[in-house]
Amino acid sequence: MTFVDSHCHLNYPGLNEDTEGVLSRMQAAGVKQALNICTTLEEADQVLALANAHPFLLASVGVHPDNLGVREPTVDDLVSRAGNKKVIAIGETGLDYYRREGDGKTDDFGWQQSRFRTHIRAARTLGKPIIVHTREAATDTLRIMKEEGASVVGGVMHCFTETVDVAKAAIEMGFLISLSGIVTFKNAKQVQQVAVEIPLEHLMIETDAPFLAPAPHRGKVNEPAYVVHVAQKIAELKQLPIEEIARVTSANFCRFAAGALGAQH
């Protein structure tokens, strides 16, 4: 029985001080593969270097939606950095209205929306899937995905915390729904409902390490080995063997990595 961590940040503090230990524990836990996520152009080389150094690591290229004071990506920036075969996706990108900082103007998120569109256009140019982060911005996220034709390449709604209806709308556009350690939190009823109602063939699992450690490690530094706890909780909620959760979510990741998720219309 093997698992895949579809979203982690191995170069972040908390993990990068002990890379070999983190990767050793990941392999010992049966986590056969992990996708190391890029959140700024400045860190892209480091993210890719980690993936190139380890056969079981893959990489993405992108700029997180609420990162301010970093280099703003162009389509050409993203396309040029995503040429390496280890780069399987564009992102993480999307919209995050939670902090409401904008670009210095309260509630002005036009810059985020423009950045999101740039990522979708790069993904379409490359034919690679998109990693979408959305927080308190589901309506605008789905609207921009539709307007920019994100369904052509598909992708994943990572660390999903929205409603079942939002999940279904994303699935209609060829996107997978990825659940993190949040699904193990006692008060995460909405996420748990998604886990129950969304068919397994549309789900992936992730840690978002070093953040959001699942129970029983909540409050500690998260790491890829802990994705097993996410799978265990989904198995409990769906009343399925954990072996089935491992098999199907890993197969879903393989489809995602192959870039074969565009909506079938």
| CATH classification of the domain holding 153 | 3.20.20.140
| pLDDT for res 102 | 46
Q: Is residue 95 part of a domain?
A: yes
| pLDDT for res 103 | 47
> What percent of the chain has pLDDT above 90?
90
Q: Is residue 263 part of a domain?
A: no
Q: Is residue 16 part of a domain?
A: yes
- Count how many domains the chain has: 1
| pLDDT for res 217 | 96
Domain assignment of residue 149, given as a range: 3-257
Inter-CA distances, 205 with 8, 60, 135, 158, 208, Å: 11, 17, 18, 9, 10
| pLDDT for res 34 | 98
Write down the pTM of the prediction: 0.94
* CA–CA distance, 228 with 205 (Å, rounded to integer): 9
Q: Is residue 262 part of a domain?
A: no
Q: Is residue 265 part of a domain?
A: no
As a whole number, the mean pLDDT across the chain is: 94
Q: Is residue 253 part of a domain?
A: yes
Q: Is residue 133 part of a domain?
A: yes
pLDDT of 201 above 60? yes
Q: How confident is the model at residue 208 (pLDDT cuts 50, 70, 90)?
A: very high
Q: Is residue 78 part of a domain?
A: yes
pLDDT of 265 above 80? no
Convert the pLDDT of each residue in 212-232 to its tens digit: 999 999 999 999 999 999 999
- The mean per-residue pLDDT over the stretch 37-65 comes to 96
